[in-house]
Amino acid sequence: MIRLAESKDIDQLIRMRWDFTIEHNPSNKFNESDLEKFKIECRNFLENAINSEQWFIWIAEEEGRIISHIYIELIQKVPRPGRITRPFAFMTNVYTVSDYRNKGISSQLLTTINEWAKNEQYEFIIVWPSDDSINYYRKNGYSHCKEPMEYFPS
């Protein structure tokens, strides 16, 4: 089942974010104190996100267990004369539980999001893929764009 996340999903989403971080940064040494601090910060973020019109957290679930999720943040653009200004979507925190990978679940989730973005008439979706996920996005209709620039304030 694919749907938008609700408040009842927050505990699972917190755990999945923690697991995602551990999986992709195995050298990090976190302890129980780190987990408790993280739970507070992440719960606050998720409560605000789920109740906003800026964030959309799409999930795939099986028997009440979230097995995959994709977070979308809408970015509002400054209006320009002569055209209708529509927001674009920033995709982040794409994660599938390891036992469910390579079974098409995440692609189904992404297809749902692509259709949703088209129906809502968002201008485009942007994602910064890891090297390992480039083919996943390609097979789902995504293409590379010019590299963005960034600035890190010190």
- What is the average pLDDT across 28-49? 89
Nearest residue to 129 (alpha-carbon basis) of 112, 144, 146 = 144
Quote the CA–CA distance of 83 and 43 in Å, as a whole number: 39
Please check the confidence at residue 34 and state whether its pLDDT lies above 90: no
What is the predicted pLDDT for the residue at 71?
98
- Statement: residue 35 has pLDDT above 90: no
Average pLDDT, the chain: 92
Task: Provide the 3-class DSSP secondary structure of residue 92.
Answer: strand
> In terms of Cα–Cα distance, which of 49, 135, 40, 53 is closest to 93?
49
Question: For residue 152, what are the contacts with CB-CB under 8 A and spacing of at least 6?
Answer: none
| Average pLDDT of the residues in 85-89 | 94
Nearest of 93, 140, 149, 99 to residue 117 by alpha carbon: 140
Instruction: Please name the CATH architecture into which domain 2-139 falls.
Output: 3-Layer(aba) Sandwich (3.40)
pLDDT of residue 76: 95
Write down the pLDDT at residue 131.
Answer: 86
Q: pLDDT tens digits for 133-150?
A: 899 999 998 998 877 778
66 vs 26, which has greater pLDDT?
66
- Report the pLDDT averaged over residues 110-139: 93
The pLDDT, as a whole number, for residue 40 is: 95
Locate the domains of the chain by residue range: 2-139
Give yes or no for residue 49 having a pLDDT over 90.
yes
Instruction: Tell me the C-alpha distance between 6 and 114, whole Å.
Output: 20
Mean pLDDT along residues 124-131: 90
